[in-house]
Amino acid sequence: AQNHHQIQNPPPTIARFQQYLRISTAHPDPDYVSAINFLTNFSHSIPFLQSQNLYFTPERNKPLLLFTLPGSDPSLPSILLNSHLDSVPAEPSKWAHPPFSAHYSSDGKIFARGAQDDKCIGLQYLEAIKGLIEEKSFSPLRNIHISFVPDEEIGGFDGMAKFATSDEFKKLNVGFVLDEGQASPGDEYRVFYADRQPWHIVIKAVGMPGHGSRMFDNGAMENLMKSIEVITKFRDAEFDKVKAGLAANSEVISMNPVFLKAGIPSPTGFVMNMQPSEAEAGFDLRLPPTADPDAMRRRITEEWAPSWRNMTVEITAKGSLRDYRGRPLLTFTNDSNPWWSVFKQAVTSAGGKLGKPEILSSTTDARFMRQLGIPTIGFSPMKNTPILLHDHNEFLKDSVYLEGIKVYESVIKSLSSFTEPSSYHAQ
Ligand SMILES: [Zn+2]
Ligand SMILES: [Zn+2]
């Protein structure tokens, strides 16, 4: 049997990781101030690193922390390393160790909400910069920026969305971005060139009310159930492509019901002998970057919520499928993108192997930079690690964390000393 008691005297790098993880930045009440104070204090031990706090809400309650390591040629486009400060909530009673204790078990696992998503990368960026500067042979050509942004897990609208469209961001002249990826259960690191874009869909039906015993056409519930049948067929067809091995999960359109709302409430539940005159259902839909949004909208309005069946629909796009020039939101991972080649080479020379570039199933802040046409790669260097983001007992192994720092040292060194191109234009 494994011995799972806590390691008492961790090395400083691990202790710092634990400290960051112990600050709860979980929604709905993330402690951004403590997280930023911790990171700023740590940064004082890193020579030459400058920091600033940015605020994009009038209440100034959603701070964004930006570090800059100046390069010798600040006229070149800079590189940006991004992570988010916040995390999703955790249900402590379902965890083996309290989710904000950063329990360090004797087999090297650090358990905490945020260990994989994504406090690991934020601190690894800083540790890598510290390591490089202490080596003394490091002289970046380009400016290196490291951003810690709020609110990614709730859409990023008061965080990266506002930052990316700000004057402050424009002044950074960002040429290439690294943002979060996902753990890899295998021996290769995973790498992402696009996200799926989320749409929230609420379908409403109205219809004839009447006695619970009467069979009649055009009731609200009946109208909604007809839509649900059509939607289920579409969902099955998409999922079948995955099951048949024709597409990855992230390459099809996902459509999952997230709420149902209908019925006439009574003190004991619902009135059982009345058919309601209104009914609605909510869905989380995710579109891969190559999907046709107009065709999807037509399908939704004509087939899923047809007006002739007394139905209406509200579609809220939480991300766009096209950049400002009308091109799909994806970053090239071939020789046409010189940043990609430099990145890949740097991972390899640190002893890492990259898997085939993928589309991410979920959605990250990377979309706001890709929207501007800036090449952005999703990458969290975690291999031989189960995928535990948003799950119970999220953990990361000490050895994986430390190896990730070495990978970032190589990547940051290569990207920041890369002389070509003087400016990058996406194809
Ligand atoms: Zn994340
Ligand atoms: Zn997340």
How far apart CA 392 and CA 388 sit, in angstroms, is 7
End-to-end CA distance of the chain: 55
How far apart CA 113 and CA 131 sit, in angstroms, is 26
> Catalytic residue at 152?
yes
Ligand nearest to the CA of 192: 1
Ligand nearest to the CA of 83: 1
Ligand nearest to the CA of 90: 2
Instruction: Assess whether pLDDT exceeds 90 at residue 31.
Output: yes
Beta-carbon contacts of 83 under 8 Å, excluding residues fewer than 6 positions away, are: 118, 119, 121, 122, 125, 147, 148, 149, 179, 180
Instruction: Assess whether pLDDT exceeds 70 at residue 1.
Output: no
Q: What is the pLDDT of residues 110-153, one digit of tens each?
A: 999 999 999 999 999 999 999 999 998 899 999 999 999 999 99
> Catalytic residue at 86?
yes
How far apart CA 182 and CA 161 sit, in angstroms, is 21
How far apart CA 256 and CA 231 sit, in angstroms, is 9
Could you tell me if 387 and 189 are in contact, meaning their C-beta atoms sit under 8 angstroms apart? no
What is the average pLDDT across 184-202? 97
CA of 84 to the centre of ligand 2 (A): 9
Computed over every residue of the chain, the mean pLDDT equals 95
How far apart CA 54 and CA 64 sit, in angstroms, is 5
How far apart CA 255 and CA 10 sit, in angstroms, is 44
Quote the ipTM score: 0.97
Question: What is the structure's pLDDT at 4?
Answer: 59
What is the average pLDDT across 8-30? 97
Beta-carbon contacts of 279 under 8 Å, excluding residues fewer than 6 positions away, are: 204, 205, 207, 220, 221, 223, 224, 261, 262
CA of 391 to the centre of ligand 2 (A): 10
Question: What is the structure's pLDDT at 6?
Answer: 84
User: What percent of the residues of the chain are helix, what percent strand, and what percent coil, each to the nearest 5?
Assistant: 30, 25, 45
CA of 158 to the centre of ligand 2 (A): 16
Which amino acid belongs to residue 113?
A: R
- Known binding site for Zn(2+): residues? 84, 117, 153, 180, 390
Which amino acid belongs to residue 35?
A: A
Distance of CA 382 to the CA centre of its chain: 15
- Known binding site: residues? 84, 117, 153, 180, 390
CA of 241 to the centre of ligand 2 (A): 26
CA of 78 to the centre of ligand 1 (A): 23
Q: What is the pLDDT of residues 326-376, one digit of tens each?
A: 999 999 999 899 999 999 999 999 999 999 999 999 999 999 999 999 999
Show the beta-strand stretches assigned E in 318-362. 358-360
Instruction: Assess whether pLDDT exceeds 90 at residue 91.
Output: yes
User: Which two three-digit tokens encode residue 247?
Assistant: 């597409």
Could you tell me if 197 and 319 are in contact, meaning their C-beta atoms sit under 8 angstroms apart? yes
Q: What is the pLDDT of residues 147-173, one digit of tens each?
A: 999 999 999 999 999 999 999 999 999
How far apart CA 151 and CA 262 sit, in angstroms, is 31
Please identify which of the residues 86, 118, 358, 394 carries the catalytic annotation.
86
How far apart CA 61 and CA 327 sit, in angstroms, is 34
Show the beta-strand stretches assigned E in 60-196. 63-69, 78-84, 103-104, 109-111, 144-149, 174-179, 192-195
Question: For residue 83, how many other CB atoms are within 10 A of its CB?
Answer: 24
CA of 363 to the centre of ligand 1 (A): 8
What is the average pLDDT across 250-261? 96
Residue from 148, 120, 140, 193 nearest 412 by CA: 140
Question: What is the structure's pLDDT at 311?
Answer: 97
Residue 427 banded pLDDT, cuts 50, 70, 90? very low
Question: What is the structure's pLDDT at 266?
Answer: 97
What is the average pLDDT across 396-403? 98
Question: What is the structure's pLDDT at 346?
Answer: 98
What is the average pLDDT across 176-202? 98
Please identify which of the residues 118, 151, 152, 251 carries the catalytic annotation.
152
How far apart CA 121 and CA 200 sit, in angstroms, is 29
